[in-house]
């Protein structure tokens, strides 16, 4: 293993598979590639990005570029930066902006990325766009200008330059090389594959989302998750369903495909596809969790298309039932969101209102949706600070800092803050230890008559770091049994 690979594993930037860089050919391959180069000519890298940064191009036989390159874990600057880049933080901003959001300097940020990953943040962002463009070349018949815009490039010329640098072929040649099964058939909307490593339990994610779906905004039916979205200022719909053993299938119905790469990143976040796949190995060490993992392997923490939307739903859901929270949040969308035409057959009628929209609504108007006075005030107060960028849910904050910022707001306690961090900010280490469901689950699994307190459960959960959120999903899932 290269020094870069060792540093990545030590610092928490995990990957789905070891990559072999063959120095004699300049090609990198997956571990299961049928090619058999001499061992003395091979250098191991932890990801496709690391191999590309060292000058290798992907093998056309095993297609290692189709695997997710990183599964960033932990609270380090690099891990948080990787998650932000995966969400498109450098599509419209610079390394200077990214460093500021991570509370560090550009120079230090680049030094950390080069030391731990062997590539700068900008290189990783450019590679992300190139790989997404390659998927569109393989799976669609979109024109080159549309592919460039969808992948976040400013021009076809910029896309051509990065594709040649990454793959050593022009976009036209790559499209000609695609296999007969690469192209996705479409009978309405644009269809794409979302690759993943491991085996995420997407059926469990669907069940979780179905029970919490916001009426008019989200719907789960026949193994498919659908929701209304706003992209480029226009409403649309996305659909996500299980595909084959290594992909989810996505269908997007959008008025424009500009920055489609960021929409796909959001969809990946909903399904938790970029979360660490090795959580189960750590959690299995706990005798209480081991049988749960054996029964339902691959649970992930469901993320959010819109962090503000999920945060509002969590605030609304304090001390009321799951169904009641969904009903009230649906009324908020109906009263203050934008109507969506043409998709009523799916039960999608509105998009969720923006933070700026809710911040401008009077408390008495919010109360008409069924909120209490204090809860309506909490929702509006949160909307105001979120709209002003004072409490970002973009992964730039550490879990401790984010929870501290959230609990400083009126009406948001530790439970809500941890839940918002878990689902809206995609922190897989967030853990609402005071949740009664988690404590009851622990009591049942430990065969105790008394329910453990929040402090006792939090103490046991220390051994589950940095995957406490995944452990919470397993405890909640046990309640259904």
Catalytic residues: 29, 435
Question: CA-to-CA distance for 33 and 253, rounded, in angstroms?
Answer: 36
């Amino acid at each position: 293993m290269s020094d870069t690979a060792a540093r990545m594993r030590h610092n928490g930037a995990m990957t789905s598979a070891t990559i072999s860089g063959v120095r004699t050919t300049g090609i990198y391959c997956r571990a299961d590639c049928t090619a058999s180069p001499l061992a003395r000519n091979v250098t191991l890298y932890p990801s496709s990005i690391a191999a590309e940064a060292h000058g290798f191009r992907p093998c056309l036989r095993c297609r290692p570029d189709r695997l997710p390159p990183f599964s960033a874990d932990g609270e380090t600057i690099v891990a948080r930066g990787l998650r932000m880049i995966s969400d498109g933080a450098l599509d419209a901003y610079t390394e200077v902006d990214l460093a500021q959001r991570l509370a560090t300097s550009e120079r230090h940020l680049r030094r950390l990325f080069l030391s731990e990953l062997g590539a700068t943040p900008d290189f990783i962002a450019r590679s992300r766009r190139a790989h997404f463009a390659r998927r569109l070349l393989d799976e669609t018949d979109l024109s080159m200008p549309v592919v460039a815009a969808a992948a976040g490039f400013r021009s076809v010329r910029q896309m051509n330059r990065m594709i040649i640098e990454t793959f050593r072929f022009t976009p036209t040649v790559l499209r000609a090389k695609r296999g007969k099964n690469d192209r996705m058939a479409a009978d309405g909307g644009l269809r794409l594959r979302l690759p993943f490593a491991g085996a995420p339990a997407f059926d469990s994610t669907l069940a979780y989302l179905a029970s919490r779906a916001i009426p008019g905004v989200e719907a789960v039916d026949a193994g498919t998750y659908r929701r209304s979205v706003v992209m480029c200022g226009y409403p649309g719909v996305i659909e996500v369903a299980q595909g084959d053993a290594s992909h989810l299938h996505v269908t997007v119905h959008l008025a424009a495909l500009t920055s489609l790469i960021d929409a796909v990143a959001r969809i990946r976040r909903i399904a938790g596809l970029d979360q660490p796949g090795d959580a189960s190995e750590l959690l299995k060490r706990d005798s209480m969790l081991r049988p749960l993992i054996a029964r339902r392997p691959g649970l992930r923490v469901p993320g959010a298309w819109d962090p503000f939307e999920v945060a509002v739903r969590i605030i609304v859901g304090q001390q009321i039932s799951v169904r009641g929270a969904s009903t009230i949040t649906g009324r908020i969308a109906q009263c203050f969101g934008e109507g969506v035409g043409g998709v009523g057959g799916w039960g999608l009628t509105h998009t969720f209102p923006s933070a700026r929209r809710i911040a401008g609504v009077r408390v008495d108007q919010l109360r008409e949706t069924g909120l209490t006075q204090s809860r309506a005030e909490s929702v509006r107060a949160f909307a105001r600070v979120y709209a002003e960028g004072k409490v970002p849910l973009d992964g730039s904050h550490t879990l401790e800092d984010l929870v501290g910022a959230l609990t400083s707001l009126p009406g948001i306690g530790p439970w809500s803050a941890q839940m918002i961090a878990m689902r809206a900010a995609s922190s897989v280490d967030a853990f609402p230890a005071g949740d009664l469901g988690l404590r009851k689950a622990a009591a049942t699994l430990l065969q105790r008559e008394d329910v453990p307190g929040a402090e006792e459960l939090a103490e046991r959960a220390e051994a589950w770091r940095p995957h406490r959120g995944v452990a919470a999903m397993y405890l909640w899932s046990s309640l259904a049994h």
